[in-house]
Amino acid sequence: MDIPALSMAMSQASVAQAAGIQVMALSKDMVEQQGQQMAQMLQQAPHPNLGKSLDIRA
């Protein structure tokens, strides 16, 4: 059994897992921020009934 090689492989796997977790955390933060921005945009709508109906009579 090659202990040094096993140790290096485990270390590399740990680093890869930590990097993946960081990327997911950044992605989650970005999605939460976009959701907050969308909620603010919807609250600032000019008129609550604007665009809810369409008159198609000719």
Predicted confidence at residue 56, as pLDDT, reads 83
- Taking only the tens place, the pLDDT of each residue in 1-14 is 689 999 999 999 99
Predicted confidence at residue 1, as pLDDT, reads 64
pTM of structure: 0.62
SS (H, E, C) 8-57: HHHHHHHHHHHHHHHHHHHHHHHHHHHHHHHHHHHHCCCCCCCCCCCCCC
Region 17-43 average pLDDT:
94
- Taking only the tens place, the pLDDT of each residue in 24-35 is 999 999 999 999
Measured CA to CA in angstroms, residue 40 lies from 13, 15, 18, 44, 50 at distances of 41, 38, 33, 6, 17
